[in-house]
Amino acid sequence: MSKPTYYVQECPTCGRTLEIRVEYLGKRVVCQHCRGALLAEDPSSRRAPATYWSLLRRADHLLEIAAQQRPATQ
């Protein structure tokens, strides 16, 4: 059994199925159908989806704001 060289990802722009080479994972690729740019991410390996990281960053940012709004003690 050999490792697949391609994985399948749906284009966020045109919704068509793309075969993307695994070596492009994490890189920006161009859809062969609509020429729209997308980030190559393997949907089958959901260890840390992009939404997870953006939520984490957002939570960090909110904590920062909360810390800044704490009344100063004199």
Please tell me whether residue 11 binds Zn ion under the rule CB under 5 A. Answer: yes
Q: Report the residue from 36, 49, 53, 59 that binds Zn ion according to the rule CB under 5 A.
A: 36
Q: Report the residue from 21, 33, 57, 61 that binds Zn ion according to the rule CB under 5 A.
A: 33
User: Can you tell me the distance from the alpha carbon of 71 to that of 65, in angstroms, rounded to the nearest whole number?
Assistant: 12
Pairing of strands 37-39, 28-30: antiparallel
Residue 26 near residue 48, CB atoms below 8 Å: no
Determine the interface stretch with Zn ion among 27-35, 41-49, 57-65, 66-74 (rule: CB under 5 A). Answer: 27-35
Q: Which residues pair with 10 in a beta bridge?
A: 17
Residues forming the site for Zn ion (CB under 5 A):
11, 13-14, 31, 33-34, 36
